[in-house]
Structure 1
Amino acid sequence: MFLFKGREAHSRSFAKAVSWRILGSIDTFLLSWFFTGSPKAAGAIAVSEVLTKMVLYYFHERAWSNVSWGFQKDEQAAEKAA
């Protein structure tokens, strides 16, 4: 499948997804609490979005790992490093 042919290990993509979701879930919880005034409702909102957002981010990262746009070619990078 084309989504899994990247330069980044699956474990790295997964770790990035988890750390991003922790930060995102804290943000979602705080914003939900602010807008609803209820920590219980905020918790329900934050918990319900954790897994879906983590899965979406993982596949998004894997898809972008197949896009070569924005990377320097190996020869150009070697010349700049020398």
Structure 2
Amino acid sequence: METRRRTLVKAIVWNLIGLLVMSLVGLAMTGSATIGGAMAVVNTAIGLSMYVAYERVWSRIDWGRMRG
């Protein structure tokens, strides 16, 4: 089982990568760094909270884990 801190750090690092990628995609799609950046921030905020919740739920499920 992972600690909450590890789950949070993993989520933050993953979302920073996603923020960078979404910013570039938003810039390429709109031609505006402001609009692209805003899209990326909203996406990252939603994604971070969903990822943390998802990981915490799965940390409580024993199905598929190998013991021993």
Q: Larger relative contact order (C-alpha < 8 A, sep ≥ 6)?
A: 1
Secondary structure, counterpart of 2:45 in structure 1: helix
TM-score (norm 1): 0.75
Aligned residues: 68
Moved over 3 A (4+): none
CA distances 1:25-74 after superposition (whole Å, capped 9, x unpaired): 11111111111111111011111222221110001111111222332122
Unaligned runs of 5+ in 2: none
Find the aligned partners of 2:35 and 2:60 in 1 and give their Cα distance.
39
Cα RMSD for the two superposed structures: 1.1
TM-score (norm 2): 0.88
